Amino acid sequence: MQEELIRRAKELLGDGTVVRVMGWRKGDLSFNPEPALFETEESLAEFVYDGFCGANLSKYMIKLSKLEGKTLVFLKPCDTYSFNQLVKEHRVDREKAYIIGVGCDGSLDVDAMKEKGAKGIQEITEDGDTVTVRAIYGDKTFDREDVILERCRACKGGAHMVYDELASNADEEKPARDGRFSLVEKIEVMDPKERFAFWQNELSRCIRCNACRNVCPACSCIKCVFDNDRYDTAQKANADTFEEQMFHIIRAFHVAGRCTDCGECSRVCPEHIPLHLLNRKFIKDINTFYGDYQAGADTDSRAPLTNFTTEDVEPSIVQERG
């Protein structure tokens, strides 16, 4: 697969269609490739595409579409939603991107493997549905299903929302998976006290590294309100008070109706806070109150929060529904 992508990238660079390639570079361990920019055919020797290439490259296109010439970018099906959403918000220029849609069997999560006992990892190999880990403290074999990222368990399906061409492993027919809201529902039925304790416990681990915000394709503000020290809203202290929650509530709110549920926020969180459950709650509410909506599925519809109908529910519904 990787060879095919490298060959295609070389061709496109060679015939001048694109002037640079945004992809992933091989890591120095078998599970840490990094997003990287390739500008020459030779440098593509380090290009890699495997199960650990979970990083969503859409957000890099904000920066790259300001440069001269076209950029080739590889997008997995769920990444294309983010890209579309950025096009809709005029943050990236569709004309500046040449998109190759790549298929995805679910991104691997090395932390999940570690939790399941892989320790002292020396090498990880994928073979279809099995993942084999060679490790100092005992080799392990996993079903791929057990070690994929949380977001892949609620995969939106194999269809690419936007692309110029598809790689041979793209599977447009791959069905979406259910159960996206099952965890949200589990929290909803808790007693308010339990819910409060649940979130207090999760959010108290936050170290304010801002990784969730910085990786989020929807968080594309040039200056974040929480970085702005002019209006007394800047937050830097890791105070064990309401501040943490405020940051996460407002961040989720600011991306409500624009969040495509790409799951990057939860992937990058060093403390594994299930931040996607905040976003999914907004998505679920939007679907219930204002009709089903998937951000990034198209580039021209109006987002739920920049839209209204005269018959919308009143905010008191929150109390009335009990």
Give the one residue of 171, 249, 293, 294 binding another protein; rule: CB under 8 A.
Answer: 249
Q: Let me know: does 256 contact 243? Beta carbons within 8 Å.
A: no
Give the one residue of 1, 67, 176, 317 binding another protein; rule: CB under 8 A.
Answer: 317
Q: Please give the backbone phi and psi of residue 249, each rounded to the nearest 5 degrees, phi first.
A: -65, -50
DSSP, residue by residue, 127-155:
ETTEEEEEETT--EEEEGGGGB-GGGGG-
- Is position 313 an interface residue for another protein (rule: CB under 8 A)? yes
Cα distance between residue 257 and residue 246, in whole Å: 19
Question: Would you say 166 or 211 has its CB closer to another protein?
Answer: 211
Contacting another protein within 207-226 (CB under 8 A)? 207-211, 213-215, 225
Looking up tokens 């008070």, which residue turns up? 241
Contacting another protein within 172-191 (CB under 8 A)? 187-188, 190
Residue 174 CB, nearest approach to another protein (Å): 26
As given in the structure block, the two tokens for residue 244 are 């943490």
Residue 171 CB, nearest approach to another protein (Å): 26
Give the one residue of 241, 291, 292, 300 binding another protein; rule: CB under 8 A.
Answer: 241
Cα distance between residue 47 and residue 168, in whole Å: 17
Give the one residue of 45, 67, 176, 197 binding another protein; rule: CB under 8 A.
Answer: 197
**What is the size of the binding site for another protein (CB under 8 A)?**
90
Contacting another protein within 40-79 (CB under 8 A)? 52, 55, 60
Following CA atoms 188, 191, 197, 203 in sequence, which dihedral angle do they give, to the nearest 10 degrees? 10
- Is position 29 an interface residue for another protein (rule: CB under 8 A)? yes
Cα distance between residue 168 and residue 165, in whole Å: 10
Which neighbouring-strand residues pair with 142? 131
As given in the structure block, the two tokens for residue 227 are 């970085």
- Is position 229 an interface residue for another protein (rule: CB under 8 A)? yes
Give the one residue of 21, 108, 278, 295 binding another protein; rule: CB under 8 A.
Answer: 278
Q: Let me know: does 46 contact 24? Beta carbons within 8 Å.
A: no
Residue 305 CB, nearest approach to another protein (Å): 6
- Is position 256 an interface residue for another protein (rule: CB under 8 A)? yes
- Is position 112 an interface residue for another protein (rule: CB under 8 A)? no
Residue 98 CB, nearest approach to another protein (Å): 18
